[in-house]
Chains A and B, each alone.
Chain A
Amino acid sequence: MSAAAHPPAAILRVSKLRKAFGYHEVLRDISFDIAAGSVVSIIGASGSGKSTLLRCLNYLEEPTAGEIYLNGEPMGFRVKSDGKRVADSAANLGRMRAQIGMVFQQFNLWPHMTAEQNVAEALIQVKGLGKAEASKIAREYLAKVNLLEKADAYPARLSGGQQQRVAIARALAMEPKVLLFDEATSSLDPELTGEVLEVMRQLALEGMTMVVVTHEMGFAREVSNRVIFLHQGVVEEDGPPEQVFGRPTSERCRQFLSSVLG
């Protein structure tokens, strides 16, 4: 762990990231840092590689080249004493993933468990907490997303917005250093996106480090403090919302914004 080269404030560092599926290059040479407490929105057209980029951050996708560092620690590989790289153990990867929370577009709640059990499951299995303690913590986080009364409901009984809020509670319960949102509202009916965006806004205000892939330009402009515009696997615009939305330097970014915002 060479901490010297990495400023401690960067929770996530992406370095020369490349990802190809077969011959199709989805991400080309992407590098950026994510500072603690920042709320970063990643926007771009479909196929720009936004989701792939996000999924590399918790190693659900393995990069073809480049590195990801979580708090200075490399993901997916270890550097041995002789300087050679070796693939990391699954246990280590799991430990690192536990520090990163992810909220999926399809919610991915486990249907055979109640809302509370969904939130408590990782606390029991990964953090090794007892059932009673995990249950208590789970209920706290369900209360935080305003769903305590649904703690014993199965996902089949919950609306899309409620399921996604449970999913957020599930990710939060692990007390991650950073939260990743993969188009968290794209699968929701329009009237339900509000409740989820509200929870996300609240988290941002509380200082949670968030990386949000989204189509919700309102959220990107008003809640995030940094916006990254991705086009065909390359970062074409990266800056505060006023700059990206107000004075974009990239022509494609301008086109994208005008087509999305009308």
Chain B
Amino acid sequence: MSETLRQSLDLSLFWEFRYTLLAGLAQNLYVFACAAVLALALALIVGLARLSANRAVRAVSTVYAELFRNTPEFVLIIWVYYVLPILLSRMLATKFNMSPFLAAVLALGVAYSGFLSETVRAGVQSIPRGHSEAGLSLGMTRFQILRRIIIPQAVRRMLPEALSQFVSLFKATSIVSLIAVPDIMYQVSMINVDQMRPLPLYTGAALLFCLVIIAATQLIQILSDRWRKRGWA
């Protein structure tokens, strides 16, 4: 066992292929960044829509959020990569080619917009109505209230949970290798095919993700605590 333990912790293989692996990690970050922007944009729209006075708007946005919160990311990414191009080709009457990268960004962005929309909704709703009422009684317009009172507070309240969702999103980027996006897991399996040494490779990959995620989570924790102390969130 100790021989295999030594082997699995022998990260020299990692070091040997560090450039390839770093390029893979960069892909993860790139997918993450694009998906995060998409998720945030959609979440803002859907989250606010869930608080609309219009029942139809509320219903549609709720269906959207529930649908994507309850769909496995893997199923969604496969569906976007295989089914969506065909549907779009038929609808637009042209051949639609979807790159793995685009499919990954779309799928992850939409999937996490579901979670984030809930965060947005909860953040905005958590602001006591009394704050708006105070603004109204001082003669402010609804738009001013939204811009100067609601949004600044809502953003602060949402931040810890939203950051936590982004960490989950980064973790989820690990599955993009399954539709041949050349991320770190893809590179790891390519190297494995070549070198046939799964022990250090998969252990190393696990450790790497672990370190990145733990570092990010700790950072968020520190920031959240600091914000809470300042009375922000």
A–B in direct contact per CB < 8 Å:
no
Q: Which residues of A contact B (CB under 8 A)?
A: none
Q: Which residues of B contact A (CB under 8 A)?
A: none
